[in-house]
Homo-oligomer: A and B are copies of this chain.
């Protein structure tokens, strides 16, 4: 099969590899769509721990089951599936508490083992979720980031009538906005620098501003639920200043390990502000799929570009330059040129 291989940090190749065969508890999936996200950039750059170079990246994938291991009872060839890429160890302290996303030996399909930027991928049957027919492969390949968003809301636990502020309206911020708009909010406000992304946020039903200061001016009493979807320390600090008494600030964006944010402990005490994080999917893949299957979310509209496997390197550059909201690699696309086709 053809597959994108990260041979080493900085080294993207498209190689021919042997077709994978399923282990007893695995299925093999023919990949129909696999999304690129920020952590893929870090894998390309070699700045993410836990990657097993050389390996096939790709953790936002959907496709069709083409082979089934001997012990697999719930799936059969032909099933349309999306994959939760999480591979918790099951025995570390967080795993034993049920906090699988905080696993001390966390593996990820597309980082610690081969992933979805390939014609085929082998993965544990328990990681594959059957897509009902109304859910497209494109939507299926968006379930992983959306499940992260749903997990974030499980952490946030916003009561009905909350006022929301989401800072950053990239693919993730837009999904956060879409979910916020559907959780009986008092209002939902986006902050985003790029006018076209603000326009998308507004189309979804949010109010949008270019700066946090502008957003706060429209609601001086502050927001009950504030979410950072940038990972930028300066944005987090500004976001903190907009939290209403009793409110919560969710750090959803991924900062660098060396970053620091400067927060006022007096406000955390006096206004009983809660600052919390959300990491990965946890147990949210199933509810994310329920939500998408229910028809209220139209995630596919976030896919602005599609490429074939040969287009992976170019897709990486599109993402780096902030030109694509979400690019899907479609292995069946024959794109000798590797040119991304904008949708």
Q: Indicate which residue in B186, B274, B275, B284 contacts A291 across the interface (CB closer than 8 Å).
A: B186
Across-interface contacts of A163 in B (CB, < 8 A): 290
Interface-located stretch among A10-18, A38-46, A177-185: A177-185
Tell me which residues across on chain B come within 8 A of A268, comparing CB atoms.
251, 275-277
- A122-154 contact mask (Cβ, 8 Å, vs B): 1 or 0: 000110010000000000000000000010011
The verdict on A271 contacting B279 (CB below 8 Å), with A126-B91, A183-B160 known, is yes
Cα separation A93 to B233 with both chains bound (whole Å):
30
Size of chain A's interface in residues, with CB distance under 8 A? Answer: 82
Question: In this complex, what residue of B is CB-closest to A265?
Answer: B255
- Interface residue SS majority, chain A: mixed
Assess the A154–B150 pair: CB atoms within 8 A.
Answer: no
Check: A94 CB closer than 8 A to any chain B CB. Answer: yes
Q: Decide if A184 touches B186 in the complex (CB within 8 Å).
A: no
**CB-nearest residue of chain B to A276:** B274
Decide if A150 touches B157 in the complex (CB within 8 Å): no
Is A94 a contact of B294 with CB atoms below 8 Å? no
Distance to closest chain B CB from A264 (angstroms)? 6
Please give, as numbers and ranges, the residues of chain B lying within 8 Å of A261 by CB-CB distance: 262-265
- Contact: A264 with B257, CB < 8 Å? yes
Asked if A29 is at the interface of the complex by the 8 Å CB criterion, the answer is no
Chain B residues with Cβ under 8 A from A267's Cβ?
257, 277
Q: Contacts A271-B102, A286-B161, A291-B160 known; A296 to B184 CB distance under 8 Å?
A: yes
B269–A251 contact, CB under 8 A? yes
- Residues in B with CB closer than 8 Å to A278 are 269, 272
A251 shortest CB reach to chain B, Å: 5
B271 and A274 contact, CB distance less than 8 A: no
Per the bound structure, the CA–CA distance linking A279 and B267 in Å amounts to 10
Cβ A270 vs Cβ B265 within 8 A = no
Cβ–Cβ contact A272 & B277, under 8 A: yes
Q: Are the C-beta atoms of A259 and B269 separated by less than 8 Å?
A: no
Q: How far is the CB of A323 from chain B (nearest CB, A)?
A: 26
Q: Which residues of B contact A321 (CB under 8 A)?
A: none
Q: With the chains together, A288 CA to B96 CA distance in Å?
A: 12
Residue of B nearest to A271 (CB): B102
Confirm or deny: A155 has a beta carbon within 8 angstroms of a beta carbon on chain B. yes
Q: Contact partner of A286 among B93, B254, B265, B276, CB < 8 A? A: B93
Known: A97-B286, A183-B184, A271-B279. 6 other contacts (CB 8 A): A96-B285, A185-B294, A257-B264, A268-B276, A274-B274, A274-B277
In the A-B complex, the 7 residue pairs with the smallest Cβ-Cβ separation, listed nearest first, are: A161-B287, A186-B290, A98-B283, A268-B277, A269-B277, A255-B265, A260-B262
23 sampled A-B residue pairs with Cβ under 8 A: A94-B245, A94-B246, A97-B286, A98-B283, A99-B272, A101-B272, A161-B287, A161-B290, A179-B184, A182-B182, A183-B184, A184-B291, A186-B293, A186-B294, A228-B265, A257-B267, A260-B265, A268-B275, A272-B277, A272-B279, A274-B274, A274-B275, A276-B276
